[in-house]
Structure 1
Amino acid sequence: MDELSIKIKIADREYPMKVKAEDEARVRNAGKQINERIRSYRERFGIDDKQDLLAMVAFDCLVDKLETDEKQYDMDEGVLEKVNHLNNIINQAL
């Protein structure tokens, strides 16, 4: 398992971390997106306090994750219903 030592800069602070080589792009992209959201909130709301900005980004990310989880659950339920329906049709045909 190859691990890389990288530094991610978030809100003007550098965070050293070790990541798997295959996760590097995802981790760097996450840092970039966090910084973009911070910049967006700073511009939209005129907030300069980094702790407030980070809290808003964290909250926003969790809301997005919960929404994605709900959609995934609904999709999984729909697929399960269709598979069960197909199984019933197959069983009736046999």
Structure 2
Amino acid sequence: MEELSIKIKIGDREYPMKVNAGDEERIRKAGKAINEKIKAYRNQFGIDDKQDLLAMVAFDCLIDKMRMEEEHFNIDENLATKIKSLSDLIS
């Protein structure tokens, strides 16, 4: 796959990256989402310290990831239970 050299600006700093062409849009969206969360925290809490803002965004993102993993685990568990029930009915 083709590699691109791009720059992503996060919290007023630019980060050069080499990414697969197919991932460029996702990476740019992620950078935009991070900057939007930084701005929201800055406005909501009046915090200007970049390190504090980035830490809050990282924490928020990890909580979202953990929530989604739990939801997927519950969905998988429910599906397994339903498949077992259907299998028992067939047998």
**Cα deviation code 1:48-82 (max 9, x no counterpart):** 00000000000000001001100110011001111
Q: What TM-score, normalized by structure 2, do the two folds share? A: 0.97
- Following superposition, the deviation at residue 21 of structure 1 comes to 1.0
* Moved segments of 4+, more than 3 Å: none
Residue matched to 1:59: 59
Residue matched to 2:21: 21
- Where 1:17 maps in the other structure, the secondary structure is strand
Q: Which residues in structure 2 correspond to 1:74-93 (within 5 Å)?
A: 74-91=74-91
- Where 2:48 maps in the other structure, the secondary structure is coil
In 2, distance between residues paired with 1:42 and 1:70? 29
- Where 1:48 maps in the other structure, the secondary structure is coil
User: What 5-or-longer segments of structure 1 have no aligned partner?
Assistant: none
- Following superposition, the deviation at residue 23 of structure 1 comes to 0.8
* Identity across the alignment (%): 63
- Following superposition, the deviation at residue 3 of structure 1 comes to 1.1
1:38 and 2:38 aligned: yes
The alignment of Structure 1 onto Structure 2 pairs a total of residues equal to 91
- Following superposition, the deviation at residue 17 of structure 1 comes to 0.6
CA RMSD of aligned residues (A): 0.6
Q: What TM-score, normalized by structure 1, do the two folds share? A: 0.94
